[in-house]
Amino acid sequence: MTDTRDMRREMPLGLAQRGYTGVIQHLSAKDSGSALSDIELESRLIELGFVEGARVEVLHEGLVGRDPIAVRVDNITIAVRRREAMAVIVA
């Protein structure tokens, strides 16, 4: 693949702006600040389809603190708070 994706910097989905598109690189639940344990958070994210290789697009943002965000994950839309989205590393 020669597209620009390889050159894009990795960043947590929790910092992405509306309109951002990218691909999930890995999950890193450590220090995300969520109330859930690392394992629980990671399990839940996977159960909603946040798995390496899935395409994501940030479709909408809330009003207060631009939180939560509505994320297109492959072909479904998931609402998630930025705090939890910090565990999803995208590029």
For other proteins, the binding residues (CB under 8 A) are 33-36, 39, 41-49, 51-53, 59-68, 70, 72, 74-81, 83-84
Where b means 16+ CB within 10 Å and e means fewer, 2-33 reads eeeeeeeeebebbebeeebebebeebebeebe
7 or 53: CB nearest other proteins:
53
Smallest separation (angstroms) from other proteins to the CB of 54: 8
CB of 72 or CB of 91, closer to other proteins: 72
Instruction: Give the type of residue at 51.
Output: V
